[in-house]
Amino acid sequence: MAETEDGVVIGYAYAGPFHARSAYRHTVENSVYVAAGHVRGGIGRALMQRLIAECTARGCRQMIALIADRDDGPSARLHTALGFRPAGKLASVGLKFGRWVDVLQMQLALGDGDRSLPRA
């Protein structure tokens, strides 16, 4: 979490299970948020770099980002800069601001990715 000196939250990032089934237990889905007045200040990058490092240290092998609405927006650009690659697009699966939006799927291999099996 990123805060101002007076304790106002201006950004956060977290990861949770990608899917509840056991087969996906080594894959996480990330979310990152930066307050409007603080976009393009490096906060999102710093939060995501720490999140990626923590998930890798915990043995996660893949990180998935689901980015609503714009393939060329700030979130897609941030994820691309961090090494995420497009993995598909889902049409009209998100409802945001009173309209249906497409969702760009992006993926980043963590640690060994799929080059080896994780420890049990």
Where along the chain do its domains lie? 2-109
Question: Structure pTM?
Answer: 0.91
Q: What is the pLDDT of residue 5?
A: 66
Query: CB neighbours (10 Å) of residue 43?
Result: 19
Question: In a structure prediction context, what are the per-residue pLDDT tens digits for the chain, which is 120 residues long?
Answer: 776 768 888 899 999 999 999 999 999 999 999 998 888 889 999 999 999 999 999 999 999 999 996 777 889 999 999 999 999 999 999 998 899 999 999 999 999 999 999 886
List beta partners, residue 65: 30, 106
Fold classified for 2-109 = Aminopeptidase (3.40.630)
**Encoded tokens for 93:** 């699966």
- Residue whose C-alpha is closest to residue 69's, from 33, 45, 100, 30: 100
Q: Which amino acid is at 24?
A: Y
